[in-house]
Amino acid sequence: MGASPTMNNLEDNIEAIRNEFPVLKYLTYLNCAAHGPGLERCWKAVTDWWRFTLYEHPNVKAPNIKGELSRMIGCKLDEVTPFNRVSHAINAVSDMMQLNKGENIVTTDLAYPSNIYPWIPQYRRGVEIKRVKSRGGLIDTADFEKNIDDNTKVVSISRVEWTSGLLHDVKAIAEIAHDHGALVLDDGYQAQGNVVVDVSRDKVDFYTFGSQKWLCCPSMAGALYVKRDHWADYEPHYRCYNRVEEAFRSGAPWERPEHDNIKDYDKPLVGDAEKYNQGLLGEDALWGFHASLEYFNKLGTINIQDRNRKLSGYLIGKLKDLGVKVNTPDDPKRRGGLVTFTTNSHQTNQKLFKALKDEGIIVALRYAGGVGGIRVSTQFYNTEDDIDKLCNKIKEILK
């Protein structure tokens, strides 16, 4: 498989990087925002689990996934736990909230459905869902300030918006929310593996992300961060018996003659973020997810972010030369590798999407809040040649 590229030479080692992604031999893949191309080392890790740990091989230890998670998002080991999907994690947080009629939740009109739908039960009980409206895909921090008030209990945002690629100033939004006594739930699915995330610096209360997009790992794996300050205040409704700390203090309770399936478990859950772990992430997925996290941490999230911004800037310039409307901010600090554009005709966008796919150039067609069109995801393994191929084909089709 070869040695991993070092921290600051991604461009110099692009051939070795591309060899990590077998599909790049066959496709011009620009669609991480939907599903990243599988990392070779993730496949190897999963097959290792099936070959060894299934049979309790004595020399194989479970991977230190919490170490990689905490390193990646900038938190303490005990503040993060594996979860099986982002929508599941957001549902878990929503279920813990005791919101009342007259209170409100602030989000945006660009937010992905999984960032809205879990709050619908609260909405049906009289909690208002306030959506900050974008202007052609752009939202400023001041727009959040106008919508957050003393009745706001949760600000539920996507760190990177999935139809425009806008990167929010999460720290500034969190400061506004906290000034009004509100919590911040940060959905990082389009951010993790794309831009730098530091949940401690940004002071978010809950953060979640998944495996299958920018982290290039099979689906059904993810993580939930819960800030230490909230462990005592929020109890999960979905409870996993093996998170009852006292029951397992002296080994597995079922190995003791006095094991009682009520008395042994009628005790508090563990006191850290593990109390929210629902035990639904399969071990094979966990091994594959760990391999991805380890690889991305070795590359360095700042280096990945820098390369993604360079590639997306190159793409935006080429798209503007073609005369299409770009929805993504020019300012590199407000974007990562996700770029969307439109021909201003849905029918033409559809035609373009199909023609690109037929050429083996994989992008996406996405809309929300009146914003969208063709979505292109430039990840660190892409090259200027990939972007040139895309733009040359667009030019040919739009003649």
In terms of domains, do 155 and 82 share one?
A: yes
Residue 55 included in any domain: no
Both structure tokens of 215: 């982290």
In terms of domains, do 283 and 372 share one?
A: no
Report the CATH number at residue 88.
Answer: 3.40.640.10
The Cα–Cα gap between 238 and 185 comes to: 19
In terms of domains, do 293 and 305 share one?
A: no
Give the pLDDT confidence of 291-327 residue by residue, as tens digits: 999 999 999 999 999 999 999 999 999 999 999 999 9
| Contact criterion met (CB below 8 Å) for 221 and 210 | yes
- Where is the domain boundary, 237, 268, 297? 297
In terms of domains, do 371 and 238 share one?
A: no
Residue 243 included in any domain: yes
Residues whose CB is less than 8 angstroms from the CB of residue 198 and which lie 6 or more positions away in sequence, other chains included: 73, 74
- Where is the domain boundary, 264, 297, 330? 297
CA 295, 282, 227 angle in degrees (round to 5)? 70
Residue 241 included in any domain: yes
Give the pLDDT confidence of 259-297 residue by residue, as tens digits: 999 999 999 999 999 999 998 888 889 999 999 999 999
Share of the chain above pLDDT 70, in %: 96
Count the domains in the chain: 2
| Contact criterion met (CB below 8 Å) for 299 and 215 | no
Question: Per-residue pLDDT for 58 more than 90?
Answer: no
In terms of domains, do 84 and 227 share one?
A: yes
In terms of domains, do 308 and 202 share one?
A: no
Predicted pLDDT of residue 60: 73
Give the pLDDT confidence of 126-159 residue by residue, as tens digits: 999 999 999 999 999 999 999 999 999 999 999 9
Residue 3 included in any domain: no
Residue 57 included in any domain: no
What's this model's pTM, rounded to 2 decimal places? 0.94
CB atoms within 10 A of CB 373: 27
User: How would residue 51 be classed by pLDDT, with cut points 50, 70 and 90?
Assistant: confident
- The helix/strand/coil state of 3 is coil
In terms of domains, do 393 and 313 share one?
A: yes
User: How would residue 3 be classed by pLDDT, with cut points 50, 70 and 90?
Assistant: very low
- Where is the domain boundary, 235, 265, 297? 297
The Cα–Cα gap between 339 and 377 comes to: 6
β-bridge partners, 208: 187, 224
Question: Per-residue pLDDT for 5 more than 60?
Answer: no
Residue 51 included in any domain: no
Residue 95 included in any domain: yes
In terms of domains, do 24 and 107 share one?
A: no
In terms of domains, do 271 and 366 share one?
A: no
Residue 50 included in any domain: no
Residues whose CB is less than 8 angstroms from the CB of residue 214 and which lie 6 or more positions away in sequence, other chains included: 32, 33, 36, 190, 191, 192, 193, 194, 337, 377, 379
Distances (CA, A) of 396 to 26, 320, 389, 392, 399: 21, 15, 11, 6, 6
DSSP 132-184: EPPBTTB--HHHHHHH--TTEEEEEEESB-TTT-PBP-HHHHHHHHHHTT-EE
The Cα–Cα gap between 161 and 139 comes to: 10
In terms of domains, do 287 and 205 share one?
A: yes
| Contact criterion met (CB below 8 Å) for 184 and 348 | no
Residue span of the structural domain in which 358 resides: 14-37+301-397
What does the pLDDT average to over 23-43?
Answer: 96
